[in-house]
Amino acid sequence: MVQGSSYICSLVQSLRSASFPSKLANYSGYTSRAASNSLRHPSTYSEDEYADVDWEKLGFGLTPTDYMYVMRCSKDDNFKEGRLSRYANIEISPSAGVLNYGQGIYEGTKANRTEDGRILLFRPDQNATRMMHGAERMCMPSPSIQQFVDAVKETVFANKRWIPPPGKGSLYVRPLLVGTGPILGLAPAPEYTFLVYASPVRNYFKEGTAPLNLYIDEEFVRASPGGAGGVKTITNYAPVLKAIARAKDRGFSDVLYLDAVNRKYLEEVSSCNIFIVKGNRISTPAISGTILQGITRKSILEIARDHGYQVEERAIPVDDLGDADEVFCTGTAVGVAPVGSITHRNRRIEFKTESSLVWKELYTTLVGLQTGRIEDKKGWTVEIH
């Protein structure tokens, strides 16, 4: 066995190391080798006790927390009860399916601390459902919805001191499902590992809440029909790194991709969905197998309808940008981010970023729900006790 790729080895500890039992009820009075060595038991931290972090300087980068969650199964079995472990590296075979054939998917969700001290998750069942859909596409077994949500809740509770104070950020939670079993021929891995780790974060883009400047790069596409662009597989993300790097070298925030067939219709940004606003109408590209079904996207569509906007999911020609009043992006990491300009074929199209803004109205409602400032009548939030 050797150390795994940089994608995985910075996440978690050896799967064979001692760890907590999975049920939080078992925490009381329990100590283990994993919890020792300067780490206190999660239940001993008070509700207002925080990790030693400068919350004012928090960005969107990895800040290792105390614990992670691990659960394993074989390809012909179901996932059983998992466990919490110290956050560290894992050992993995050099012939693991994820390292050789990219058999892996991931999710992203956030935990927020409310003004009255509660801890809220936002629609984790939707992440679980999306992981199950992605796992089926990638020929992988998947945790059940309940297993997924329980694992996220346990991970957040164990790392609660890393949840930023209200208004200072969120605890970003990253569930992973990867083929860790050894395989040489092109086939599904014989064993799978479900991992959950977390990191406190704030703004995804360096611009913060300032408008983004996007670039349409016609040389690269993010996904093609019949591929896996509609699921959150790890293989969708490394291919866009070159396009992002080239755009940032030119002073842009990110890349907006067009469809692979006609190079005419908007699809999505590297890590988020795209919306355009014209008057009372809000449009976003329809889900067609090449666009990720974003949970923030889904939530914003419903919030927009609640606010009285006409919402449509359709094919959006790139030429429609010229008539748009506003453009914004959505995603778990980015939240709702305004777009100030989009450059296409050396033409810079600018959008409204001042006065009464639709994106701001929707963003305020979304964040209000996520942080408990607005009463949740939809059943979207899950409180962690």
> Which residues partner with 200 through β-bridges?
171
Q: Is residue 201 within 8 Å of residue 194, measured between CB atoms?
A: no
- Angstrom distance (rounded) from CA 188 to CA 211: 43
**Phi, psi angles (nearest 5°) of residue 3:** -65, 140
- Paired strand residues for 101: none
Of the candidates 110, 153, 160, 232, the residue annotated as catalytic is 232
- Asked about 378 being catalytic, the answer comes back as no
CA distance 8 to 343: 35
Q: What is the SS3 assignment for 16? A: coil
Tokens of 118: 């509660």
Cα(3)–Cα(1) distance, rounded to whole angstroms?
7
Give CA–CA dist 172/310, Å, rounded.
32
User: Is the distance from CB of 95 to CB of 169 less than 8 angstroms?
Assistant: no
CA distance 287 to 360: 24
Q: What is the DSSP letter of 244?
A: H
By annotation, the residues acting in catalysis are 232
